[in-house]
Structure 1
Amino acid sequence: MTTRSGPQDDRADPGLAAIMGERRQLINLAYRLLGSLAEAEDVVQETYARWYAMSRQRQEAIESPGAWLTKVAGRICLDVLGSARARRESYVGEWIPEPLPDPKEWIAGRPGGATADPADRVTLDESVNMAFLVVLESMTPAERVAFILHDVFRYSFAEVGEIVGRTPAACRQLASSARRRIRGTQAAATPAARQAGIVRDFKRAWEAKDIEALVRLLDPGARVTADGGGVVSAVPRPVEGGERIARLFLEIAAVIPELTILERTVNGRPGLVAQRDGVTVTVAAFDVAGDRIQHIWAVRNPDKLRPWTVNREH
């Protein structure tokens, strides 16, 4: 297997530079496979632990350390996906992938005073938008791994087969099946500027408590999916219908009038962040088709909002 990111120069220990130079690649891969930055970081940590558990002689015998790390991370992700499916079936409310802020809005401080490594930041593109990640959740673990490795990271099916433990032909079929799922849910792309304008109009209508404006922005068959966790009660099932959704957002505004609504990039697309006393309580990702909002994912689980929670100049 070949590696897709080259080593950096390090006169003291070139091998160490090559190994650590793969960190961003591994985080990007694991996040797309798992939909959770926390789980992705755990996978990468475990991958490096396995590397350093080997003797120096075994390490030096590996022709491509980057390829070895990718293979190990991919296999760990497969195991995590298998157990995650069971956990998410028992999740209270709907399970939504962890939302990512734009890199320039990333929070440098982590709980406990740790500083975020810039290499932990995930490259934002169409393969991490919320609608895309939700479709990935409907795939089998093997489909998801085969599709992401081949179609997103451009590994050959022979290389994918080394990770999935199947023949190249079987991996080709897995990726093809995943591709059909993606195509079956994709609508015509709305230009980014237009998406931003619609989300901004939604924010203004919400703040103005203008139900008619909200309804006009929402597709009649629109859906809101929300989660919960910890002290935040979960919404047990999606809310469907433009008018019902508009009334739901007005109820939220009435119950929590002190909310501050901010325009933010969520997984590479225009979204909204709701803060209360400087603490992020909801991150909303939008799926826009044409001039209407088709789907809103409202992430409310505090564990998923840690990268967003900070007092910031608005």
Structure 2
Amino acid sequence: MQTIELLNIPNYFSSYYLKGLNDIAHLEYRPNIEFKKYNGLPLIIFRVKKKLVVIDNRDPVGVSKELYDLANLIYVTNRLQDSADYNQDKIRPLFPHYPINTWELYLKIFGISWYKQIGWKNALREIYIQNRRPSYKNHSITNSFRPYVFFSGSIWKQEIVANEQRSSFIKACQNHPHLHFEGGMVPRDDRQNLGLDDVLGPKRYSYKEFNEKSCRSLVNFNNPAVLGAISWRFAEYLNMGTFILSLPWKTELPVFPVHGKEIHIIEDLKGINELLSFLLKNPSYHRMILKGGKTYFHKYCQPKKQGEMIMENMDKI
């Protein structure tokens, strides 16, 4: 089995890809003083076959020049389509992911260094957060077809457009005469709900509640998140085998899901109500899309598949 040398300790944002690498290689932590400052961040820095690779799970805030100069390849989860910074030669997109519970894997790989390098308080916080996330599971399709839609999302202070997109989806569902809607935008702790009080939900749903209700939902809505990033929920929706209604991407993917086969994409918000009415009358289309999305996930997005893709690309440079 190929050995991968991990040169830093990533945070829980990177747990999905860390599992993917662990599924296809032997991981060894070899602390490097040069990369110590990247401990506890959503970055995996590793060496394999004498080549330096970075997996960047941050929001799309730009590429680190230092890492770009040192690395042979940099994989990013949020490679913005219209950004020159993200379209440099060494930058590669990744398929979607979501944080999973891998704290035991972290402890196995990093041992006591996990606590020493990022501090006991931060390490315990990481364990707490990971324990609130699910362990990875390849879900079965539930094929839920009922006049019920669930959606719950955050209100972001700096993302007015994204907030409005989510608000429009909620209102379309609330006002549809043949649908029952549950959820809404999650009230902010600081009570600054940015004029979205009419679409607020009753509470913040637990992960278990969110997933159970999302699995039952006729449709799950996807739109660009913070700074145009791809939402964690997108990969979860794919894995659960649900019907995904999406606005156009702002990020690159190695392979995009196909509209009308693996996902349903609308160009603007005016298409939401029409799609909802169409779905209620066309269960066969609903079934085709959710099955197609699950096939897409199975083919490209599983942790092991992503680890294999990363290793295969290493042989090409």
Assess same fold via TM > 0.5. Answer: no
Please give the TM-score of this superposition, normalised by the length of structure 1.
0.32
Please give the TM-score of this superposition, normalised by the length of structure 2.
0.32
The structure with more helix, counted as a fraction of residues: 1
